Structure 1
Amino acid sequence: MLALTSRAGAGWTPPGAGGAPPGPYDGLDLALHVGDDEAAVRAARRALADELAGRGAREVRYLQQVHGADVLVVDEAGPGGAGGVPDAPAVDAAVTAVPGVALAVLVADCVPVVMADPVAGVVGVAHAGRRGALLGAPVRAVEAMRGLGARDVVAVLGPSICPRCYEVPADLRAAVAAEHPVGASTTWEGAPALDVAALVLEQL
């Protein structure tokens, strides 16, 4: 999922087109860390950047997501291009008010959060798995957005693992439930599970 600033405001946009790397990674694979062919991934990133250029994006920033809660504040445009900044920082959220900078968040089971204050022209993204949600990655991103002038932040959660599918040890669920009861769940088979999306919504 992506967040994109523009001179008219800010918003979010899903990728609608792009490259399709062959093999087990069919589709728009933008991740360099999952074992896909690097050239194919970079081609997909270029295709996405070309599409977003038509919406005012000069560059796309990607992150090294590490299941933490650190937030990158992008306060100036980089060199541009499809690959974003070559050495992406190890953070799980990013915010910006720089026009033309698109922020990308990549997920599998974790919760992607895309945030925007269209009036202030500030956007943010967060990657929230269990650890990131418990550490407060989404709310820390909102706080960073407020530091850039955001006031009325709208957040959208993307697809993530089903709370009936995310089985965890019973002691882990109990520990989470003690602090965040909304995060406790049960699988279809009756095993202990977590609802990560609910943990994120509770913060927002």
Structure 2
Amino acid sequence: MSDTRTPAGVHPVDLGDGVHAFFTTGGGGVSPDPWATPAGGGLNLGLNVSDDADRVAVNRSLAAERLGAPVAFATQVHGDRVLELGPAERTRWAAHRPPASAGEADALVTAERGLGLGILVADCVPVLLADPVARVVGVAHAGRNGVLAGVVHRALDTLVARGADPARVRAAIGPAVCGKCYEVPAAMRDEVAAAEPATYATTNEGTPGLDLPAGVVAQLAARGVEATRVKRCTLEDPDLFSHRRASATGTTTGRQAGIIALI
């Protein structure tokens, strides 16, 4: 990363020369309660959480400003579809009124310099991928269904098709609900753990749980990719958005993002 300063609402990660990557937090934006955090106005980047669309547009502009490039987002459906974006998308997302979505997908990949990719989360696992030599980057949204569907594998396959080498790929796994907090029915834990044993967890209450970040680390390791993990639990950290925490109090919450671009 060429800029050592850390703007508000940003948790930076180093994925190599020529790559700018970070995870946003809940603060540093313009959204009021219930999308705000103890750190101040909320940097809610999601359009489907009842926040005002104009405020979300301002927040997305702030995120793009902190990246130094327009940021494209997809309509996420908890699947494994990957969209590849290029010069045409860079033009559209750099417009005064960018589109709301690049299309339905849970992973985005680009080799286009100056085009940011964003993935939205509020407990699920945001994954950033980069091969700084092949000059290709990607993002993936890995919730429970995404881990089962192998969305991270599909994203990595697309990077490889663009010239990436898994041995060179650098990955970062952002804040997500941890295995000690993500309680699920025993049958659900068994189903996911049968597909990826590293997800098997027990909560602080001694009940069945899922550790999705650990599962993503294992999936990447199986492909020869070493990942950096940001160990912040969305449920426990009030400066992060958490769907589970909001649901428990009968309210709504925002969406933070993993964001990456070639610079």
| TM-score normalised per structure 2 | 0.69
Instruction: Give the aligned partner of residue 185 of structure 1.
Output: 201
Contact 1:18 1:48 in 2 (8 A): no
Instruction: Give the aligned partner of residue 144 of structure 1.
Output: 158
- Identify if the C-alpha distance between structure 1 residues 37 and 203 changes in structure 2 by more than 3 Å, giving closer, same or farther: same
Higher RCO (C-alpha under 8 Å, 6+ residues apart):
2
Instruction: Give the aligned partner of residue 20 of structure 1.
Output: 30
Instruction: Give the aligned partner of residue 157 of structure 1.
Output: 173
Contact 1:42 1:82 in 2 (8 A): no
Equivalent position amino acid for 1:12 in 2: A
Aligned ranges 1:3-152 → 2 under 5 Å: 9-15=18-24, 19-26=29-36, 27-53=42-68, 57=69, 59-76=70-87, 77-79=90-92, 80-81=94-95, 84-151=98-165, 152=168
Q: CA deviation at 1:193?
A: 1.0
Distance 1:193 1:124 in 2: 28
Contact 1:163 1:185 in 2 (8 A): yes
Instruction: Give the secondary structure class of the aligned counterpart of 1:103.
Output: strand
Contact 2:73 2:101 in 1 (8 A): no
Q: CA deviation at 1:92?
A: 0.4
Equivalent position amino acid for 2:216 in 1: V
Worse-superposed segment, 74-83 or 120-129 = 74-83
Q: CA deviation at 1:179?
A: 3.1
Worse-superposed segment, 120-129 or 44-53 = 44-53
Q: CA deviation at 1:63?
A: 1.1
**Ranges in structure 1 where 5+ consecutive residues have no aligned partner:** none
Deviating above 4 A after TM superposition, structure 1's stretches of 4 or more consecutive aligned residues are 15-18
Q: CA deviation at 1:13?
A: 2.9
Contact 1:125 1:141 in 2 (8 A): yes
Worse-superposed segment, 44-53 or 102-111 = 44-53
Equivalent position amino acid for 2:30 in 1: A
Distance 1:124 1:190 in 2: 36
Distance 1:173 1:15 in 2: 29
Q: CA deviation at 1:194?
A: 0.9
**Ranges in structure 2 where 5+ consecutive residues have no aligned partner:** 1-9, 37-41, 221-263
RMSD: 2.3
Instruction: Give the secondary structure class of the aligned counterpart of 1:95.
Output: strand
Worse-superposed segment, 126-135 or 165-174 = 165-174
Instruction: Give the secondary structure class of the aligned counterpart of 1:185.
Output: strand
- Identify if the C-alpha distance between structure 1 residues 82 and 156 changes in structure 2 by more than 3 Å, giving closer, same or farther: farther
Distance 1:172 1:124 in 2: 29
